[in-house]
Chains A and B, each alone.
Chain A
Amino acid sequence: MKKRLMTSVLAGMLALSMALAGCTGSQETQAPPNAAEGGQTAQEPVTDAGSSGPKQLIYGRGADTKTLDPIRETDGETFRVTENIYETLVTYKETSTEIIPGLAESWTISDDGLTYTFKLRQGVKFHDGTDFNAEAVVFNFERWMDKNNPYHDEEGYPYYNDMFGGYKGDETHVIESVKAIDSHTLEFKLNRTLAPFLANLGMSPFAIASPKAIEAGTLAEHPVGTGPFKFESWNRNDSITLVKNTEYWDSGYPKLDKVVFKVIPENASRLTALVNGEIDLMDGLNPEDVPNVESNPDLQLYKRPPMNVGYLAFNTEKKPFDNPKVRQAIGHAINKQELIDAFYAGLGIPAVNPLPPSLWGHNDSVKDREFNLEKAKQLLTEAGYPDGFKAEFWTMPVPRPYMPDGKKIAEAIQQNLKEIGIETEIVTMEWATYLEKTRKGEYEMCLLGWNGDNGDPDNFLYTLLDKNTIDGNNIPRYASEEAHQLLLRAQTVTNLEERDNLYKQAQEVIFEDAPMIPLVHATPPLAGKANVLNYLPHPKGTETLRNVDLK
């Protein structure tokens, strides 16, 4: 009896230690993880039949896609995947927001700017084998713009609503009609001119899906587009697998056979997985890990060109921030370069205007307020607050590319404000609540930011600071009539030079009024294995992997 018990206890402990040691031991003799794929095919020809060493790329990212029906979504983690499955009528150059043909080969715009005629690419097929043609495009637009369409989702489509002025029948709706002239000619008639119309059409949510899949109502889980990759499977909160579309219209592309988007929430864990060869590319590198990536010969560092702004907003409806002098004073009290060096690992440029300088329309002649506490104090005195005041200073709870550590950045600014007599109390809350409350203007001072969508200045200046967008993205509740007129005019003229001019004027007005202090345009760092080729991060934050290859 005694012996048997002894044996069983020992056996139990032994089994566990063997399980632990055995697994670790066997891994040592196994091929390194990044070569595992080759070894795998050799061992198990059954499952990977027919492919001798497929080119697989694992992309590590922080969060999962919401749905695979891009028109319903607004978040980058959705578009990161859908851009590989679907395509848009026009698209952007690889590293800029210049518009180039997509599913449309060419287009003409009438002189009054109200009629757009597109010639569509011939011989393109959806992944389900149906034809891509003008009818299919019309089908998609009807679904989006007509609330009575049987396939229109009752929740609506945030980006459609924002970019095209609501839906069919709304007073501000931009598109009067969209019709197929012949199988590959498409005509849009607009109710009013919309200068960024083409730029809007290139945005990821306006991707053309197979009408058959829309009818089936399964797009959210089984996307069907025309893109370089086809959907294969989705394990929620874990991975999405795409495979090469062998029928892709641009022959020779894509280069990869398989792409897996893997969710790894922790930035540090994601880097570990990259170093360990479990993934090949990663988004969301911590700025402080940049030196580690640079010094590792197996890795390469990428910097995403900036199309964002991190800013400090004032609630211009609340005292004392309704006084421009107070706002300007605070503008003089912030050392932007110091913030960039300390919290962005130097990866960013100080922001003067809300618009990033890489976009056309940026006003280079606006000179930023110097960091000068004396000047700041003087302005405060002029404003009637020689001894400063007390205020709440809200900051964001989550890291964003434009604001990697809201709490610490707020603390740094708090120190400077203290020196000019402004006592701030830092407040933070859960992210969804934060967004809601800042939109409703329940704050006094807050940190926030914006990632551009389509590379049009309208998407920064109108979206963030026009009086029509109060309660929306106009966080400072800035209601300048002068800026409003300029921004509206810039929306209606189609002449690029004139628009450029209007945006430059608007930036001067905004700079003087200082409803927000733009802090930084961040260049978010990414990392990849050294053998990844042709990966070019796009300023808009996500990009297709059609050109990417592995050495």
Chain B
Amino acid sequence: MALLSYTVRRLLMLIPVLLGMSLIVFAIIHAIPGDPALTILGEKASPKALEELRQQLGLYNPWYVQYFDYLSDIVRGDLGHSLHTKAPIAEEILPYLAATAELTLVSMLFAVLIGVNAGIISAWKQNSWFDYMSMLIALIGVSMPVFWLGLMEQWVFAQELQWLPSVGRDNPRDPVVPITHLYIIDAMLAGRWDQLRDVLEHLILPGIALGTIPMAIIARITRSSMLEVMRSDYIRTARAKGLGQFFVVYKHALKNAFIPILTIIGVQTGLLIGGAILTETIFGWPGVGRYIYTAIGNRDYPVIQSGILVIATIFVLINLLVDLLYAYVDPRIRYR
């Protein structure tokens, strides 16, 4: 019950956050110099056509009228139309989001499994060779430029060893038929296990490239958080009671150490959603980062505006999810 009311409270708090966000995005786009009508119609447009379009776009209305028009469109699920493809953005963006979601999920799975376990073992066996090695690797991981790592992976595993495909989401000679645009699911829906393997193979290199930095960060946070908890009284008590080391570490200590780890996992996941442009570029991954990046090159303002808004919303939602998970992991939080 308490969890439910906490959830409702948090959901209500989302409203001002989302409103503020939409206002910021609106302001940024409107701060860009240049006449939107001129951008849409091109420099050779006649003054009459420009005038008509300005009227049609409502550019002569005061900014707050324009903002509320924009807001009411969003509320109705209308994210506008791309200037280039003329397609509704709300539809167009879905395949890109699915591609990004799939990659993000795999990267975070990799980052969390390796990062959390490495961090725990490092803290447990503090100052052991494992601790030194994994923290050295984590340090390298944090400072590794993603594009360099990606190119090296391609060079070693695709070009030299030819073990793994270097680009794309599927085999272009036997493409997955998109249904949900999550290719793992699409391949399974089609019952094509060979394609599923294909899709998984395509996820490995970009997944590792994208997951390395979060993995390193998670490992470091986990280690320091664990070390702190392990020094506390109740752990000493647990040990004194004669509980096994493993049980103490993974059950008692981890649960209390998990809040900062969860926070960093949430933040990192959010970052990957919008911040995977480099990985997406190197691996030819048709994700949402590149969608927006291409739109910037094309001056496709509606796409830039709505794309940023969608990513920001996802970021906020992930943080909400993390907050709810806190409450689940640590019952004290919801009575705050």
Contacts and interface: CB of A to CB of B under 8 A. Distances in A.
Interface of A: 1-2, 5-6, 9, 12-13, 16, 19-20, 23-24, 26-28, 32-33, 36-37, 40, 43-44, 47, 56, 58, 60, 63-64, 66-67, 154-156, 158, 161, 220-221, 233, 235-239, 241, 260, 262-266, 268-270, 272-273, 275-279, 430-432, 439, 471
A156 B173 contact: no
Given A23-B200, A235-B95, A264-B167, A156 B172 contact: no
A291 to B, nearest CB: 15
A236 B110 contact: no
11 contacts: A1-B251, A24-B163, A33-B162, A37-B173, A155-B42, A263-B284, A264-B168, A265-B281, A275-B159, A279-B172, A431-B297
Contact of B86 (A40, A43, A220, A270): A220
Contacts of A276: 158-159, 162, 165-166
A376 B96 CA distance: 54
Contacts of A20: 204
Contacts of A471: 43
Given A66-B84, A272-B159, 5 more contacts: A27-B163, A32-B162, A233-B175, A273-B167, A273-B284
A2 B247 contact: yes
B2 to A, nearest CB: 27
A249 B169 CA distance: 36
B155 interface: yes
Interface stretch (B71-79, B138-146, B286-294, B320-328): B286-294
A278 B168 contact: yes
B168 A5 contact: no
A239 B44 CA distance: 32
Nearest to A54: B173
A5 B251 contact: yes
Contact of B110 (A16, A270, A277, A431): A16
A37 to B, nearest CB: 4
Nearest to B40: A155
A156 B44 contact: yes
B163 A156 contact: no
B302 to A, nearest CB: 14
Interface string B255-291: 0000000000000000000000000011110100011
Contact of A27 (B154, B178, B201, B286): B201
Contacts of A268: 151, 154
Contacts of A58: 172-173
A360 B125 CA distance: 77
Contacts of A26: 197
B84 A155 contact: no
Given A2-B247, A237-B286, A276-B162, A269 B40 contact: no
Given A5-B247, A236-B92, A241 B175 contact: yes
B237 interface: no
Interface of B is mostly: helix
B197 A23 contact: yes
B171 interface: yes
Nearest to B281: A265
Contacts of A156: 41-42, 44-45
B163 A273 contact: no
A275 B161 CA distance: 11
B235 to A, nearest CB: 16
A37 B113 contact: no
Interface in B290-327: 290-291, 294, 296-299
Given A5-B250, A13-B117, A156-B41, A237 B283 contact: no
Contact of B194 (A5, A37, A44, A161): A44
A321 B53 CA distance: 39
B284 A220 contact: no
B172 A239 contact: yes
Contacts of B96: 236-237
Contacts of B42: 155-156, 158
B113 A13 contact: yes
Interface in B33-55: 40-45, 49, 53
Which of A9, A158, A260 has the largest count of B CB atoms less than 10 A from its CB? Answer: A9
B246 interface: yes
A278 B166 CA distance: 8
Contacts of B150: 269
B172 A161 contact: no
B44 A237 contact: no
Nearest to A241: B175
B164 interface: yes
Nearest to A16: B113
Which of A2, A37, A161 has the largest count of B CB atoms less than 10 A from its CB? Answer: A2
Which of A43, A238, A241 has the largest count of B CB atoms less than 10 A from its CB? Answer: A238
Nearest to B53: A154
B232 interface: no
Nearest to B191: A46
B236 interface: no
Contacts of B281: 265-266
A275 B162 CA distance: 9
Contacts of B159: 272, 275-276
Contact of B246 (A2, A28, A235): A2
A69 B200 CA distance: 35
Contacts of A155: 40-42
Contact of A40 (B165, B173, B297): B173
Contacts of B286: 235-238, 263
Contacts of A265: 281-282, 284, 290
B113 A12 contact: yes
A1 B284 contact: no
Given A36-B171, A237-B291, A27 B164 contact: yes
Contacts of B178: 235
Which of A37, A58, A154, A273 has the largest count of B CB atoms less than 10 A from its CB? Answer: A273
Contacts of B168: 238-239, 262, 264, 273, 278
